[in-house]
């Protein structure tokens, strides 16, 4: 039994793996890998997946959902291209690697980026909350959860401007109010499904209003919405597994139940980090992520002994990102609280061995 704390692609429910494997061998008489994306059986998969995204997140009418490819990295470009208006100026919050990437790609397509706030001064260990928002911006962009550093917005920015969010690493982990956003995008490979799909939730009234002189068809959300995620061959298997996972999510209480479980898991682990004399949490307490718990050993010389201990307990995926070091326990929806307890027990035992 492995306890997969990896940051993504990450753990999904075992029943999803089993159903996905079964469909690779037999999906209505063929392998799901050889089914045409135009076959009615797959069109039904895509339609249901889109419906279940809407149901799980309580997406209001007037919004569309599309499945695309390219991850949030292509999403950075797509967001800027589609949300660019007459000002060609937008506000961004720099809360780490992915937020910085979004800024870089927006600039590359001609957006004049105002970085309204940044936590770079403290290696992104907090969410900046002190800023003013100019009125001549086309939109405001932020990254709801910072996978690498372990920070998370507990309150989203409040603004009358169109709000755009890269929600890759905490979408489906908590209840959100989609109506506050013009655009949400997220790589699938955390709480939605395997790598290879990216979802966009876009306000219909925001479509087709870009002022960008450059708009390849694939990157145009209006065309993607008009073609119902079939502008070209979609990532069939990734969408199918996302559907299996969405069904599982809704059968198990939906996003509100996941939020409760995720808070319980995070509380269990943060309490141990704070109690245990050998460890320190990496980020400001009020900004701690419920998805990615980052911490360090107070004495680095203990690291090989600690690493042996958690590995012996069947834990995988615990090392921090290569840019930060330390440890990172990712607590995505499918990770059971029992796995968190195993980690907590390892930490306690490690301390008692002194």
Q: How far is the CB of 18 from a copy of itself (least distance, A)?
A: 7
**Where in 197-236 is the site for a copy of itself (CB under 8 A)?**
197, 214-219, 231-236
DSSP class of 35: S
Among 96, 150, 187, 326, binds a copy of itself (CB under 8 A): 187
C-beta separation of 117 from 141 below 8 A: no
CA separation for the pair 5, 335 (Å, rounded): 8
Does 97 sit near a copy of itself (CB under 8 A)?
no
98 is catalytic: yes
Q: How far is the CB of 135 from a copy of itself (least distance, A)?
A: 28
Q: How far is the CB of 31 from a copy of itself (least distance, A)?
A: 5
- Between strands 163-166 and 183-187, the pairing is parallel
C-beta separation of 325 from 307 below 8 A: no
Does 284 sit near a copy of itself (CB under 8 A)?
no
Does 313 sit near a copy of itself (CB under 8 A)?
no
Does 69 sit near a copy of itself (CB under 8 A)?
yes
Count of residues that interact with a copy of itself, criterion CB under 8 A: 65
Q: How far is the CB of 28 from a copy of itself (least distance, A)?
A: 10
Which among 182, 190, 222, 265 is annotated as catalytic? 190
User: Around Cβ 319, how many Cβ atoms within 10 Å?
Assistant: 17
Does 326 sit near a copy of itself (CB under 8 A)?
no
Cis peptide before 325 (omega within 30 of 0): no
C-beta separation of 126 from 146 below 8 A: no
Residue ranges of E strands in the chain: 3-4, 63-68, 89-94, 112-118, 139-143, 145-146, 151-152, 163-166, 183-187, 198-203, 279-281, 292-297, 315-316, 327-330
- Which window, 27-35, 119-127, 150-158, 269-277, contacts a copy of itself (CB under 8 A)? 27-35
Chain contacts with a copy of itself (rule: CB under 8 A): 2, 4, 6-12, 17-18, 20-22, 24-25, 29-31, 33-39, 69-74, 76-77, 101, 104-105, 108-110, 187, 189, 193-197, 214-219, 231-238, 241, 316-317, 322
């Amino acid at each position: 039994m492995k306890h997969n704390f990896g940051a993504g692609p990450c753990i999904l429910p075992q029943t999803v793996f089993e159903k996905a494997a079964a469909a690779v061998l037999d999906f209505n008489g063929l392998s799901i890998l050889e089914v045409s994306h135009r076959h009615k059986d797959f069109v039904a998969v895509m339609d249901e997946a889109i419906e279940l995204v809407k149901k799980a997140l309580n997406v209001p009418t007037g919004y569309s959902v599309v499945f695309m490819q390219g991850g949030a990295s292509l999403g950075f470009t797509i967001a800027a291209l589609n949300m660019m208006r007459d000002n060609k100026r937008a506000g961004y919050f720099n809360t780490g690697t992915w937020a910085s990437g979004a800024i870089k790609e927006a600039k590359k397509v001609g957006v004049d980026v105002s970085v309204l706030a940044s936590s770079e001064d403290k290696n992104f260990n907090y969410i900046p909350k002190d800023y003013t928002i100019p009125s001549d911006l086309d939109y405001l962009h932020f990254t709801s959860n910072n996978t690498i550093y372990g920070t998370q917005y507990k309150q989203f920015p409040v603004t009358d401007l169109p709000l755009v969010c890269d929600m890759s690493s905490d979408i489906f982990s908590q209840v959100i109010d989609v109506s506050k956003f013009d655009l949400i995008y997220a790589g699938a490979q955390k709480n939605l499904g395997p790598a290879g799909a990216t979802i966009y939730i876009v306000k219909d009234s925001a479509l087709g209003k870009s002022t960008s002189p450059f708009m390849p068809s694939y990157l145009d959300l209006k065309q993607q919405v008009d073609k119902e995620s079939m502008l070209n061959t979609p990532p069939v298997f990734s969408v199918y597994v996302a559907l299996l996972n969405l069904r599982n999510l809704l059968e198990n209480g939906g996003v509100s139940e996941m939020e409760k479980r995720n808070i319980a898991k995070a509380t269990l682990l943060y309490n141990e980090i704070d109690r245990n004399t050998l460890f320190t949490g990496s980020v400001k307490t009020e900004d701690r992520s419920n998805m990615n718990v980052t911490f360090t050993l107070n004495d680095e010389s203990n690291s090989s002994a600690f690493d042996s201990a958690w590995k012996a307990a069947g834990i995988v995926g615990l090392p921090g990102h290569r840019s930060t070091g330390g440890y990172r326990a990712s607590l995505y929806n499918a990770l059971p609280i029992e796995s968190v307890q195993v980690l907590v027990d390892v930490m306690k035992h490690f301390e008692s061995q002194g």
